[in-house]
Amino acid sequence: MKPMKGQMALFDERTPAKSRREGAAAKHAAPSRRLRADWRAARDFAADMVAETLYPTRCAVCDKPGAVLCGSCAAALPYIDALTACPRCGAPFGVVQCSECTSVLMEPFGYKEPPYDEMASALVLTEAVRRIVTVYKDQNERGLARPMAQIMARYLPPRWMGAAPVVTFVPATAAARRRRGFDHAEHLARELSFIAGLDFAPLLVAARSRDQRKLGRTGRIGNMRHSLTALAGASMPAAVIVVDDVCTTGATLFAATEALRTAGAKIVWCLTFART
Per-residue pLDDT tens for 204-262? 999 765 555 555 555 555 566 678 999 999 999 999 999 999 999 898 999 999 999 99
Whether 17 maps to a domain, the answer reads no
Give residue 54's domain range.
Answer: 36-76
Q: How far apart are CA 126 and CA 254, in angstroms?
A: 23
Whether 198 maps to a domain, the answer reads yes
Q: Are residues 71 and 105 in the same domain?
A: no
Q: What CATH number does the domain containing 230 carry? A: 3.40.50
C-alpha closest to that of 240 among 190, 138, 168: 168
Ordered per-residue pLDDT tens for the chain, 276 residues: 433 433 333 333 444 444 444 444 444 445 666 666 667 667 666 655 565 555 689 999 999 999 999 999 999 999 999 999 999 999 999 999 999 999 998 888 888 999 999 999 999 999 999 999 999 999 999 999 999 999 999 999 999 999 999 999 999 999 999 999 999 999 999 999 999 999 999 999 997 655 555 555 555 555 666 789 999 999 999 999 999 999 998 989 999 999 999 999 999 999 999 999
Whether 189 maps to a domain, the answer reads yes
For the chain, how many structural domains are there in total? Answer: 2
Q: Are residues 97 and 152 in the same domain?
A: yes
C-alpha closest to that of 270 among 50, 116, 43, 57: 116
Q: Are residues 54 and 142 in the same domain?
A: no
Whether 16 maps to a domain, the answer reads no
Q: How far apart are CA 117 and CA 190, in angstroms?
A: 22
Q: Are residues 47 and 139 in the same domain?
A: no
Q: What are phi and psi of 268, to 5 degrees?
A: -125, 120
Q: Are residues 89 and 57 in the same domain?
A: no
Q: Are residues 60 and 189 in the same domain?
A: no
CB 10 within 8 A of CB 2: no
